[in-house]
Structure 1
Amino acid sequence: MAINIMIVEDDEGLSRGVALSLARPEYRFFECATLAQARQAFAQHAISLVLLDVGLPDGSGLTLCRELRAASDVPILFLTANDAEYDEVAGFAAGGDDYITKPFRLTALRARVENALRRAHGGGAALYRFGDVWLDFGRLQFSKGGRPLALSPSEQRLLRLLLDRRGETVTRDALRGAAWDGGAFVDDNTLTAAMRRLRAKIGDDPKNPRFLRTVYGEGYCFYG
């Protein structure tokens, strides 16, 4: 089943770059440079998610957001250079589900798009894939290279948090708290050892990581 993503952005290079960075076989993109084009695309196609700029040649993206929200519960993510607090408040007040300011990291954008789509399609049963690793947290089925992958409950919780916040640095405290029920009595060595085992299981080289990067003095970031 195709997932139709509408990008409403008058910067053609940025719009194309976002589409290329998000590309998956099941995704189809509709790139619109104006409100008029976006209205037409939304009327003609079953749009699954909207990435929306605020400043457009023929009006404000806030206007379009209010129109779409009145007619649909489609996820709407603002993608804009307007970074003042009142701009963000206006975006949420208009019915936006998320507000991302430019410049942004493509890995973080990808994670937020995937999270929005998951929430829109039932939320809980999350399916992730990276490299040759497949993780189905809904069915608790995990594999690497087509073979079952054994993950302990704490390893599952670590991976789930890192994947949900893909592209962001997750602090050591947050990881300990997620993996070990609050983490108050878990020291840093326990987390370091768990991350080492996790890297070995998913086939990530700590000296040249593809997926899990250590952010020294802060925590870890999943960026695959």
Structure 2
Amino acid sequence: MSRIFVVEDDIAIRDELCELLENSGYEVCQPEGFEDIAAQAIKAGADLVLLDINLPSANGQTVLKEIRKSSDMAVIMVTSRAGETDEMLSMSMGADDYITKPYNPMILLLRISAVLKRTQSGGMARASYHGLAVNTARGSIGEGSSEIMLTKNEMIIFSRLLASQGQIVTRDELMTALWDSEEYINDNALTVNISRLRQKLSEAGIEKALETRKKQGYMLL
């Protein structure tokens, strides 16, 4: 049974959400207050965090940043504000998905299921790229002091590109790999993740590893 850590300050919404999740077979836990939320989420051993951006004593994006310092647990950001700025910022900080209130309960459950499926599947445990070890389960490239950590989404993209190294992988193929269904694609989020992946590969000492083919897709060299 997957454990979901629900961070929502609106009591009515939180209670309704917890009931929905419990009735759907998830174990649900909540923070005790809104201080040190990142530490509470990690201590709870959650498989996924539903994290509201607008909290009484903290910004959800700041909490996400703190979580990512020590954990790659799945995080879905939730906000009542429409617009792309929050979404792009959240995804650039390592969120696995993003949803805007008011949301359809069934759509939320599908997104949770998709994220958990991606993050809990071991996939190809180890591979190599340009002489560097690739650990898809851990989400890392290289080892020891040279190890570069990727977010879950970055590793999904990298793994798909690595499996087709030297061949063009279309944006649609990458978005399908990320969200399992084209109905839930967000093009901006893919662009942000590609940019961050390219930067991390550069940090790993692999310059110009990711080639963009306009109107076609991407190729890992």
TM-score (norm 1): 0.51
Deviations 1:13-59 (A, max 9, x none): 11111121122575211123753163353243211000011110101
Q: Which runs of 5+ in 1 are unaligned?
A: 125-163, 170-224
Q: Distance in 2 between matches of 1:52 and 1:8?
A: 5
The equivalent residue for 1:19 is 18
Residue 88 (structure 1) shift: 1.0
Change (3 A) 1:123 1:109: farther
Q: How many residues align?
A: 130
Amino acid at match of 1:95: G
Q: Residues of 1 paired with 2:59 and 2:26: CA distance? A: 26
Structure 1 CA distance for aligned equivalents of residues 122 and 65 of structure 2 = 24
Deviations 1:87-126 (A, max 9, x none): 11111122111110011100000000001111111177xx
Structure 1 stretch displaced more, 38-47 or 89-98:
38-47
Matched, 1:121 2:120: yes
Q: Distance in 2 between matches of 1:101 and 1:55?
A: 12
Structure index of larger Rg: 1
Report the equivalent of 1:159: none
Q: Does 1:111 align with 2:103?
A: no
Q: What is the CA distance between 1:69 and its match in structure 2? A: 1.2
How far apart, in 1, do the equivalents of 2:52 and 2:80 lie? Answer: 8
If the length of structure 2 is used for normalisation, what is the TM-score?
A: 0.52
1:29 matched to 2:25? The reply is: no
Quote the Cα distance in structure 2 between the aligned partners of 1:25 and 1:86. Answer: 31
Q: List per-residue Cα deviations over 1:49-77 (Å, max 9, x = no partner).
A: 00011110101000000111121111110
Give the match for residue 216 of structure 2.
none
Counterpart-to-counterpart distance in 1, 2:21 and 2:100: 17
Whether contact under 8 Å (1:8, 1:33) holds in the other structure is no
SS across alignment from 2:46: coil
Q: Flag as ranges the 4+ runs of structure 1 deviating above 4 A.
A: none
Instruction: Give the letter for the 1:17 counterpart.
Output: E
Q: Over aligned residue pairs, what C-alpha RMSD do you find? A: 2.8
Alignment of 1:124-143 (within 5 A): none
| Aligned-residue identity in percent | 31
Give the secondary structure class of the aligned counterpart of 2:28: strand
Is 1:48–2:47 an aligned residue pair?
Answer: yes
Q: Which structure shows the bigger proportion of residues in helix conformation?
A: 2
Quote the residue 2:93 is aligned against. Answer: 94
Task: Report the AA paired with residue 12 of structure 2.
Answer: G
